[in-house]
């Protein structure tokens, strides 16, 4: 054997066969597919958490504002409190300082405007309190001291003792209902 032949026999050939390359490509593809599914679920979870947090924030802030102001309603009289039906789709009253206040839903937005009983609630000059108000939106109910519904306006309005406010907020498949009962200081 010549020296050249001996050198060739000692050198091993390196590289990958076609079968090895195909196996590596398949394994890497499976790893990427599993990683993609995991990342997709993580993004879905993030979006759900974001929508839940947004709905909760919108509902709690709006409800806190309405309850705080309803607590300051001046009196349960026709001049200070609007009463058209039970439940009403708006809360319209005069506060303890004599300022008119109206909470109402227009489209999917809950508004606070400066219109008191006897006038129409309008968005002009108002403040938006919450977005994504769902079906049923805002419902305001009046109750007597014994807890029964106040159903005969306007004569029975002086019997109003509690006001219950229900607010429905929804976004991205998340639907939350907030409810609070207030006994205004002036009643």
Question: What is the average pLDDT value for the chain, to the nearest integer?
Answer: 84
Specify the DSSP class assigned to residue 105. E
What is the per-residue pLDDT across 69-104, written as a single tens digit (0 to 9) for each? 999 988 877 778 876 676 788 888 888 888 889 998
The yes-or-no verdict on residue 178 having pLDDT over 90 is yes
The DSSP code for 125 is: T
- pLDDT tens column, 9-52: 565 667 888 999 999 999 999 999 999 999 999 999 998 888 88
SS (H, E, C) 56-98: HHHHHHHHHHHHHHHCCECCCCCCCECCCCCCECEEEEEECCC
Give the pLDDT confidence score for residue 165 in this predicted structure: 92
Q: pLDDT at position 4, please?
A: 53
**Tell me, what's the pLDDT at 166?**
92
The C-alpha atoms of residue 5 and residue 73 are separated, in whole angstroms, by 106
Averaged pLDDT for residues 157-161: 79
Sorted by sequence, the CB contacts under 8 Å of residue 119 that are 6+ apart come out as 100
- Prediction pTM value: 0.73
The predicted pLDDT at position 12 comes to 63
Closest C-alpha among 165, 184, 144 to residue 64: 165
Higher pLDDT, 156 or 136: 136
Which residue has better confidence, 118 or 172?
172
């Amino acid at each position: 054997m010549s020296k050249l032949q001996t050198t060739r026999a000692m050198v091993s050939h390196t590289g990958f066969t076609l079968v090895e390359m195909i196996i590596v490509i398949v394994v890497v593809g499976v790893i990427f597919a599993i990683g993609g599914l995991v990342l997709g679920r993580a993004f879905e979870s993030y979006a759900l958490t974001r929508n839940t947090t947004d709905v909760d924030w919108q509902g709690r802030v709006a409800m806190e504002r309405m309850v705080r102001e309803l607590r300051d309603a001046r009196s349960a009289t026709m001049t200070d409190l609007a009463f058209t039906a039970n439940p009403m789709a708006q809360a319209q009253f005069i506060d303890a300082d004599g300022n008119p206040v109206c909470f109402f839903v227009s489209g999917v937005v809950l508004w606070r405007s400066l219109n008191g009983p006897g006038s129409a609630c309008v968005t002009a000059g108002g403040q938006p309190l919450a977005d994504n108000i769902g079906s049923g939106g805002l419902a305001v109910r009046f109750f007597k001291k014994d807890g029964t519904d106040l159903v005969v306006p306007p004569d029975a309005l002086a019997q109003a003792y509690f006001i219950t406010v229900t607010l429905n907020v929804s976004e991205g498949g998340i639907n939350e209902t907030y409810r609070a009962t207030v006994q205004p200081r002036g009643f």
